[in-house]
Amino acid sequence: MMNNSHTGEIDINHAVEIAPRIWWVGHVQEHDPFQCHVYLIEQGRESVLIDPGSKLTFNNTLKSVATS
């Protein structure tokens, strides 16, 4: 899980592990009322991306997946 262990703050610029092997890999876009909340269920070569987001946020999603 990417966070600051001293303050407990979560760094949303990286993947956030919300449960064992389940990651939030979304991206927050400023001034966008519709945010994409993309999740990765990690299972080796059979991992699953839930709601992969839009074309606008896909590059950020790929970066987050790489950090999970």
| pLDDT at residue number 5 | 45
| pLDDT at residue number 21 | 94
Task: Return the closest-CA partner of residue 36 out of 19, 54, 18, 11.
Answer: 54
Q: Which two tokens stand for residue 19?
A: 């449960």
| pLDDT at residue number 52 | 76
Contact, 58 vs 27, CB < 8 A? no
- Residues of the chain where predicted confidence (pLDDT) is lower than 50: 1-6
